[in-house]
Amino acid sequence: MKTKNITKSILMMFIASLTLTSCGDEVNELQIGASVEAGAYARVLTSSAIKTTNLLNPSASSFDATIEFVDSENGNLVDSYAIFASFKDNTIASDTAPDYSITKEVLVKTWEKSSFVPGAKYPTLDFTLSSQDAIDKLGLDLTITEGGDAFVYRGEITLSDGRTFSSTNSGNSINAELFFNDAFFFSSAFVCVPDNPITGDWIINMEDSYGDGWNGAYILVTVDGVATEYTISKFTGSHTITIPTGTTSLEWKYVPGAYESEVSFKVYAPSGNLVLSTGSGPAIGLLVLNLCNE
């Protein structure tokens, strides 16, 4: 048995122990002075895999989510749910370059209780968040934005007694919960996705920190409906993918395997520009490449 198998077996036992003692469906508990106040929280049931803002077509950029509300009365104390937006300039070229961040939040949209629908136990809300709405409400000039910048969204619950709950006043059991995604924080990175695939030679540089390959994980590249898997069996490896002239559809997808924390990779466009760089444990599913400089 490899050392990492022992380590990860211990980790799985630890997570199983946490599952038994997790706060689960408990209400949001806030520390108010010396006392603890019970409130509410919202958690994500499903959401779009891609939440990016396409600078080449921002009006068509949006994402969907279904969330549910939890409180001491099975979610019935929640009167409304609102989402606020700010803009984060992540592409400041130098210490003397301007920072175009808009840190003052604006209200993008509010959903009243009448929009909620009954769920298995708690009320739920289906919503669509449009990048164009955030652009309009912030008054954001897209000429100052670049690929890699982002919208930062904050969700907020208002209860029937007027109290509000969000990421700014929730405890660690909500903001750092292991077993669900809270609906108090979303982000939307700015990318450029052209209508037609960029042809030429693309390069994927892959790494495995342990050195025994990706253990079943691979990148699936689908060109005009023909899918090919790319992976490695050692510390590093590189693949060149040639996209021919006349290609009409190109899709990149990461499929996970075992030991995800060991996996990372970089994708380079035919121009040589780095268009995607992941840390350990890449996001699963469709890959969105930042092609703003192509």
**Residue 191 buriedness (CB in 10 A; 0-12 / 13-18 / 19+):** buried
- Residue 19: helix, strand or coil by DSSP? helix
DSSP secondary structure letter of residue 282: P
What pLDDT score does 37 carry? 60
Helix/strand/coil for 158: strand
184 shares its domain with 206? no
Query: Is there a domain that residue 85 lies in?
Result: yes
pLDDT recorded at residue 169: 77
CATH at residue 177: 2.60.40.2550
Bridge pairing between strands 181-182 and 236-243: unpaired
The number of helices, as runs of H, and strands, as runs of E, in the chain is 3, 20
Whether the Cβ atoms of residue 61 and residue 90 lie closer than 8 Å to each other: no
CA atoms of 188 and 62, how far apart (whole Å): 9
The residue from 191, 215, 232 where one domain ends is 191
Residue 19 lies in a domain: no
- Do 81 and 112 fall into the same domain? yes
Q: Are residues 116 and 211 in the same domain?
A: no
For range 82-108, the mean pLDDT? 94
Q: Is residue 107 part of a domain?
A: yes
Same domain, residue pair 261 and 175: no
- Say if residue 253 is in the same domain as residue 139: no
Cα distance between residue 65 and residue 111, in whole Å: 13
Evaluate whether 197 touches 248 at the Cβ level (below 8 Å). Answer: yes
229 - beta bridge partners?
A: 220
The pLDDT tens digits for 224-265 are 999 999 999 999 999 999 999 999 999 999 999 999 999 999
pLDDT at residue 21 above 80? no
Cβ atoms < 10 Å from Cβ of 212:
15
CATH number of the domain at 239, please: 2.60.40
Looking at per-residue pLDDT, the higher value among 180 and 122 belongs to 122
For residues 180 and 222, state if they share a domain: no
Within a domain: 10: no
| Domain end point (choices 149, 171, 191) | 191
Does some domain include residue 18? no
Same domain, 78 and 128: yes
In the predicted structure, residue 4 carries a pLDDT above the cut 50: no
Residues 133 and 64 in one domain: yes
Confidence of residue 6 (pLDDT cuts 50, 70, 90): very low
Structural domain span for residue 268: 200-286
* 182 and 50 assigned to the same domain: yes
How high is the pLDDT of residue 133?
Answer: 97
Question: Hunting for tokens 């253990």 — which residue is that?
Answer: 215
Instruction: Look at residue 49 in the predicted model and tell me its pLDDT.
Output: 82
| pLDDT at residue 174 in the model | 64
User: What is the DSSP track for 25-62?
Assistant: TPPPEEEETTEEEE-EEEEEEEE-S---EETTSGGG-E
Residues 53 and 183 in one domain: yes
Residue 220 lies in a domain: yes
Residues 60 and 97 in one domain: yes
State if pTM tops 0.85: no
Rounded to the nearest integer, the mean pLDDT of the chain is: 86
From 47, 27, 51, 36, select the one nearest 157 (Cα to Cα): 27
* Per-residue pLDDT tens digits for 31-58: 444 555 667 889 999 999 889 999 999 9
Q: Which of 158, 191, 224 is the last residue of a domain?
A: 191
Q: Are residues 223 and 187 in the same domain?
A: no
Domain count of the fold of the chain: 2
The answer to whether residue 185 is domain-embedded is yes
Residue 177 domain flag: yes
